[in-house]
Structure 1
Amino acid sequence: MTAVTAVTAVRSAPASVAVVGAGAIGGSWVALALAHGLRVTASDPAPGAEERLREAVRAHLAAIADDPDAALTRLDFEADPTDAAGDVDLVLEAGPERIDAKRELFAVLDAAAPADVLLASSSSGFGPSAFQDGCRHPERVVVTHPFNPPHLVPLVEVVGGRATSEQAVQAAMAAMRRLGRRPVRVRAELPGHVVNRLQAALWREAYDLVRRGAISVADLDAAVASGPGLRWALLGPIATQHLSGGPGGLDHVLEHLGPPMVDWWADLGDPELDADLVAALVGGVREELGGREAAVRAARDAALVELLATKERWGLDATARPDAGGER
């Protein structure tokens, strides 16, 4: 379905937002928006969704808001997404990762929201072209894929579809900055966007190394977290590689390590995710964490807050440089 009338302007400085879907990602979006002073209307038809959401949001706000109680006064709840989307400046969808559900939901949101309101999906793998064609105004439909948990991790991938206007993409970039995020523009619709594809490439080799018996799950996690992961948390993989080359930079690295790296690529694994490998991975990580998942998650989130503050103090905070990177 094509647009009835193309929208020439999309709101880019939201004061209010609807978050549709009150699961883990939706609750994190809600807390983030509240912490940045926005009024939020959340929506989820599941029984007990409002109570679970408020409990989760209160916990998130404790880490990012000066006055969680005051922030929570700006949160409303509507079970019906039509009621949530009717009078806001931005709609963030965080529903199930099923294409049929997204197509149906975006048709509902498109009919309910004013025509100049951006409709943004949190989809971790679908591009907008997969579900925007059922909308009257597909040009205002984008993906704003956050990195979990969105209230702490700044990254958001912004993806336009075949019918998405350039103005809508730019409005999405601006709206994400309004929420204190670091948006990166993904210029092609790819399964998994960019960052999940990078993660998948690492996981594929990690899983294969475990399958081969080359390393245990615990030692593999330690190897990444105590080695390259430390550097990647401060700079990306290509900038890190450039700095490792000394005065010659990336030219020197690729000249001397490029040929052997090509040989490594040829030897990378292509594992089957069969029952034996799944059992080895699940058993390995359970042994590694030893039932401490909740405590480790809480410690990780607290450390993320401190890490982001450290990056900002040392001038390595990309969110402070909205024009950094290739968004143009």
Structure 2
Amino acid sequence: MSEQNKEPRTVTVIGAGTIGLSWIALFLGYGLRVRVNSRRPEAERIVQEGIALFAPFLPEEADRLADSADRLEFEPNLETAVADADVIVENAPDNLELKQELFERVGKAAPAGALILSSTSMLSPDAMGARMADRSRLVVGHPFNPPHVVPLIEVVAGEETDPEAVREAVEFYRSVGRVPVVLRKQILAFAANRLQNALLRESIHLVREGVVTVGELDEVVTNSIGLRWSTIGPFHAFHLGGGEGGLRKWLTGRAVGMEQGWELLGRPRVDDDLIETLVAQAEEAFGDKTYAELVRSRDTKQLAVLKALASVAPNA
């Protein structure tokens, strides 16, 4: 069978929450056959609404939604949903016992050659696949929300993961326009979330101490380090911060007090008072818009940044 006449790969998406919906829209946009496995009785309505919300913000090359109705199906039975799938993308809540039971069932029902991917934000393949007879095809592919817009995928292998499965995972994510980065070792919560959590901790501390409000903190980030990090990463930035001497000059000169600065960072306790303060300020800053309006605003801006970066020469 030629490539042109070849049937599209079947991807079973387990879960129709925020991440699952984003994956569904992206996979359909790239011409894949998508089978949705969800226990939600209103899954079909939720998925259709999700596709409509996310469609305008898919990558330009993801233009295959016109015939997506013929490639989208729903199967509430897990075993049936994965029985002939080429790729399985799991998006269940990060509950270890739940994941272990789910992957035990998937392992028994899926084809031997199926690629089994988990969108977990913190659990290891070894832990999730503990009850599988063969976990060699289980790979973590942690996306950064929303995965139909944000390209990064953190690929994490377990001790028993077949290197070929990792290679296939990288190839699969690249085929749908994502940027996979294979982590060199397992670490709790992976890399991107650890960076995000570090910044969030200090953000909460600054709000709790009355230095800024929630809305003002977001303005600080989007108009400084957020803008900077959309083009270059932290190490690249401080390499430039060292001038002609680069990162070595910065680390040995201007960053002499860096460790002392770390000691000043806050360790806020997330108690009821803090939660009420953050929620009240968030509602004041963002509460005049619906969830759908906020999503469209976020994705419009993020897509504009990606398009602008794509228009610049790679070595600029």
Code of the residue aligned with 2:34 in structure 1: it is V
Match of residue 88, structure 1, among 71, 85, 88: 85
Identity %: 39
Aligned equivalents of 2:138, 2:287: Cα separation in 1: 43
RMSD after superposition? 1.7
Cross-structure match for 1:19 = 13
Match of residue 261, structure 1, among 258, 261, 276: 258
1:51 aligns with 2:48: no
The question of whether the paired residues in 1 share the 8 Å contact of 2:30 and 2:64 is answered with: no
Q: After alignment, is 247-256 or 133-142 more displaced?
A: 247-256
Cross-structure match for 1:165 = 162
Aligned equivalents of 2:289, 2:314: Cα separation in 1: 31
Count of residue pairs the alignment pairs up = 304
Cross-structure match for 2:143 = 146
Aligned equivalents of 1:19, 1:296: Cα separation in 2: 25
Moved over 4 A (4+): none
Q: After alignment, is 228-237 or 296-305 more displaced?
A: 296-305
Structure 2 alignment gaps of length 5 or more: 1-7
1:287 aligns with 2:284: yes
Shift of 1:94: 0.8
Shift of 1:182: 0.3
Aligned equivalents of 1:168, 1:299: Cα separation in 2: 37
Match of residue 70, structure 2, among 55, 61, 73: 73
Shift of 1:138: 0.6
Aligned equivalents of 2:178, 2:287: Cα separation in 1: 34
Tell which has more relative contact order, 1 or 2 (C-alpha 8 A, sep 6+): 1
Cross-structure match for 2:308 = 310
1:62 aligns with 2:56: yes
Match of residue 214, structure 1, among 211, 231, 234: 211
Cross-structure match for 1:182 = 179
Equivalent position SS for 1:253: helix
Code of the residue aligned with 1:45 in structure 2: it is R
Shift of 1:200: 0.6
Shift of 1:95: 1.2
Code of the residue aligned with 1:42 in structure 2: it is V
TM-score of the pair, normalised by structure 2: 0.91
Match of residue 228, structure 1, among 225, 229, 234: 225
Shift of 1:49: 1.1
The question of whether the paired residues in 2 share the 8 Å contact of 1:115 and 1:137 is answered with: no
The question of whether the paired residues in 1 share the 8 Å contact of 2:27 and 2:34 is answered with: yes
Shift of 1:289: 1.6
Aligned equivalents of 2:262, 2:42: Cα separation in 1: 49
Structure 1 alignment gaps of length 5 or more: 1-13, 318-328
Equivalent position SS for 2:257: helix
Shift of 1:245: 2.4
Match of residue 28, structure 2, among 34, 44, 50: 34
